[in-house]
A and B are shown apart, each in its own frame.
Chain A
Amino acid sequence: MGYAAARGGIDAIVAAEELVRRKRDEGSSPKLEVGQLIERLGLAVDRVVGEGGLWAPELAAFALRQTEGDVIEAVHLLRAYRSTLPRLAHGLVVEMAELEILRRIVPAYRTPPGPQLLGRTLDYVGRILDTGGSSKARPGTPSVGAEPAVATGERTDVPRLYAESVTNRPKQSNGAPLERHPGRLLNVLASMDLLVDHPRDDDPEPFDITAQPVRPGLPRSAILSVMARAETGALVNLWYRNVLGPDGYIHEVTLGEVRHGRVPVRVLHPHTERPVTIGTVRVTEVEAIEDLNGPDEQRDRFDVGYGLCFGHNERKAIAMANLDIAVRRDQGATMLEQSVIMTTDGLDASGFLEHLKLPHYVTFRSMVDRKRAVRAASPVNGRARTGSPQPGPAPAAGPVAGSTAGGDCADAQPAGSPVLPLGATE
Chain B
Amino acid sequence: MRLGRERRCELLAASAPGRLVALADRCLEDGSVSLDLRSGPAVGTVALEVREPVLGQRFILGDVLVTSAEVEWRGKRGWATLLGRDRAAALAAAICDAELEAGGPLSAEVEGLCADTEAALRAAAREEESELAETVVRFEELL
Contacts and interface: CB of A to CB of B under 8 A. Distances in A.
Interface of A: 50, 53-56, 58-59, 82, 85-97, 102-103, 110-111, 115-119, 153-162, 165-166, 169, 171-175, 177-178, 180, 184, 186, 198, 200, 203-210, 220-222, 224-225, 228-229, 263, 265, 267, 269-272, 274-279, 281, 283, 287, 304-306, 308-310
Interface in B78-109: 79, 81-86
B6 interface: yes
Given A96-B50, A278-B82, A88 B45 contact: yes
B30 interface: no
24 contacts: A50-B62, A82-B63, A85-B63, A85-B65, A88-B81, A90-B46, A90-B47, A91-B64, A116-B138, A117-B136, A119-B135, A157-B16, A158-B16, A159-B14, A160-B14, A205-B58, A206-B58, A206-B60, A269-B9, A272-B6, A276-B6, A277-B10, A287-B53, A310-B61
B70 interface: yes
B47 A87 contact: yes
A270 B79 contact: yes
B64 A54 contact: yes
A173 B127 CA distance: 9
Contacts of B131: 169, 172
A95 to B, nearest CB: 5
Given A270-B70, A278-B82, A154 B17 contact: yes
Contact of A157 (B18, B60, B121): B18
Contacts of B54: 186, 198, 287, 304-306
Interface string B43-71: 11111111111111111111111101010
A305 B137 CA distance: 25
Give the interface residue-count category, chain B.
35 or more
A172 B54 CA distance: 36
Nearest to B11: A159
Contacts of B128: 102, 162, 165
A95 B63 CA distance: 16
Contact of B13 (A89, A155, A279): A279
A389 B39 CA distance: 74
Contacts of B56: 198, 200, 203
Contacts of B130: 171-174
B129 interface: yes
A84 to B, nearest CB: 9
Contacts of B48: 55, 91, 94, 263, 265, 281
A56 B82 CA distance: 12
B135 A88 contact: no
Nearest to B80: A278
B64 A281 contact: yes
The residue in B64, B81, B121 that gathers the most chain A C-beta atoms within 10 A of its C-beta is B64
A174 B133 contact: yes
B73 to A, nearest CB: 14
Nearest to B138: A116
Contact of A174 (B43, B82, B129): B129
Given A160-B13, A269-B5, A272-B6, A116 B58 contact: no
A178 B50 contact: no
A221 B65 CA distance: 22
Contacts of B121: 159, 161-162
A85 B43 CA distance: 7
The residue in B9, B56, B136 that gathers the most chain A C-beta atoms within 10 A of its C-beta is B136
B61 A306 contact: no
Nearest to A283: B61
B132 A102 contact: yes
Contacts of A162: 120-121, 124-125, 128
Given A94-B50, A95-B51, A169-B127, A276 B10 contact: yes
Nearest to A124: B137
Contacts of A59: 65, 85
A110 B49 CA distance: 31
A116 B52 contact: no
Contact of A178 (B18, B86, B129): B129
A285 to B, nearest CB: 9
The residue in B19, B43, B55 that gathers the most chain A C-beta atoms within 10 A of its C-beta is B55
B8 to A, nearest CB: 9
